[in-house]
Amino acid sequence: MASCRRTLCACGCAALLCALLLALALSLALRHALRCSDGTFAHGAVSADSGTCSKIGRDILQQGGSAVDGAIAALLCTSLLNPQSMGLGGGSIFTVREKSGKVTVINSRETVPKVFKADLLKDCPVDFQMGSGSRWIGVPGEIRGYERAHSLFGRLPWATLFQPIIKLAREGIALPTVLNRYLLLLRKLGETSPLRKLFSNENGTLLKEGDMLRFKQLADTLEVIANQGPDAFYRGKIARDLIQDVQDAGGTLSLEDLESYKVKVMDAWPVTLGDYDMYVPPPPAGGAVLSFVLNIMKGYDLDPSSVVGEQKTLMYHRYVEACKFANSRKRSIRDPAFSSDTEAFRMTKDELADSVRGKISSNKTHNSSHYSAGPSWDHMGTTHVSVLAEDGTAVSATSTINHIFGSKVYSPKTGVILNNQLLDFCGLADRILAGEQPPSSMAPVILHSATRQKTLVIGASGGSMITTGVASAIMNHLWFGKDLKEAISAPVVFVDSKNALKFEPDFDQDVVEALKALGHRVEKTKYFYNVVNAVTARGGCVGAVSDARKLGEAAGY
Between these two residues, 354 and 124, which has the higher pLDDT value? 354
pLDDT of 451 strictly over 50: yes
Q: Each residue of 319-354: pLDDT tens digit?
A: 999 999 999 999 999 999 999 999 999 999 999 999
DSSP structure class, residue 304? G
Average per-residue pLDDT for the chain: 93
Q: What was the pLDDT predicted at 19?
A: 53
List, by residue number, the catalytic residues.
382
Whole-number Å distance between alpha carbons of 181 and 183: 6
For residue 27, name the pLDDT band (cuts at 50, 70, 90): very low
Q: What was the pLDDT predicted at 480?
A: 98
Between these two residues, 126 and 548, which has the higher pLDDT value? 548
Q: Containing H/E element for 69? A: helix 67-81
**Burial level of 244, CB count in 10 A (0-12/13-18/19+)?**
middle
Q: Each residue of 247-296: pLDDT tens digit?
A: 999 999 999 999 999 999 999 999 999 999 999 999 999 999 999 999 99
Nearest by Cα to 387 from 536, 538, 269, 218:
536
pLDDT of 21 strictly over 60: no
- Where are the chain's structural domains? 49-265+401-425, 266-379+456-556
pLDDT of 383 strictly over 60: yes
pLDDT of 483 strictly over 50: yes
> Residue 17 in 3-state DSSP?
helix
Q: What is the largest CA-CA distance in the chain?
A: 100
For residue 533, name the pLDDT band (cuts at 50, 70, 90): very high
Question: What mean pLDDT comes out for the span 29-38?
Answer: 59
Whole-number Å distance between alpha carbons of 441 and 122: 22
CB atoms within 10 A of CB 374: 14
Question: What mean pLDDT comes out for the span 97-120?
Answer: 97
For residue 31, name the pLDDT band (cuts at 50, 70, 90): very low
Rounded to two decimals, what is the model's pTM? Answer: 0.93
Whole-number Å distance between alpha carbons of 281 and 289: 10
Q: Containing H/E element for 322? A: helix 310-328
Question: What mean pLDDT comes out for the span 429-446?
Answer: 96
Question: What mean pLDDT comes out for the span 40-51?
Answer: 98
Q: What was the pLDDT predicted at 374?
A: 59
For residue 28, name the pLDDT band (cuts at 50, 70, 90): very low
> Which of 32-41, 165-174, 523-532 is predicted least confidently?
32-41
Q: Which residues contact 105 (CB under 8 A, 6 or more apart)?
A: 93, 94, 95, 96, 265, 266, 267, 268, 281, 282, 285
Percent of residues, the chain, with pLDDT higher than 70: 91
For residue 127, name the pLDDT band (cuts at 50, 70, 90): low
CB atoms within 10 A of CB 59: 17
Q: Each residue of 297-315: pLDDT tens digit?
A: 999 999 999 999 999 999 9
Q: What was the pLDDT predicted at 265?
A: 99
Q: What single-letter amino acid sits at 106?
A: I
pLDDT of 147 strictly over 90: yes
Q: What was the pLDDT predicted at 32?
A: 46
Q: What was the pLDDT predicted at 555?
A: 98
Between these two residues, 122 and 25, which has the higher pLDDT value? 122
Q: What was the pLDDT predicted at 6?
A: 53
Which residues of 170-228 form beta strands (DSSP E)?
A: 173-174, 212-213
CB atoms within 10 A of CB 358: 9
Q: Which residues contact 52 (CB under 8 A, 6 or more apart)?
A: 77, 81, 168, 173
Question: What values do phi and psi take at 500, rounded to 5?
Answer: -85, 145
Domain 266-379+456-556 in CATH 3.30.1180.10: no
Whole-number Å distance between alpha carbons of 147 and 154: 9
- 133: alpha, beta or left? (left if phi > 0; alpha if psi -120 to 50): left
Q: Containing H/E element for 103? A: strand 103-107
User: Omega of the bond prior to 284 within 30 degrees of 0, cis?
Assistant: yes
Give the annotated binding-site residues for L-glutamate: 109, 400-402, 424, 440-441, 463
Question: What mean pLDDT comes out for the span 210-215?
Answer: 98
Radius of gyration of the chain (CA): 25
pLDDT of 126 strictly over 80: no
Q: What was the pLDDT predicted at 30?
A: 44
Q: What was the pLDDT predicted at 380?
A: 75
383-388 β-sheet, strand order: 264-267, 103-107, 91-97, 394-400, 383-388, 45-47, 555-556
Q: What was the pLDDT predicted at 8?
A: 46
Question: Is the Cβ–Cβ distance between 522 and 503 less than 8 Å?
Answer: yes
Which residues of 405-475 form beta strands (DSSP E)?
A: 410-411, 416-417, 445-449, 454-461
For residue 369, name the pLDDT band (cuts at 50, 70, 90): confident
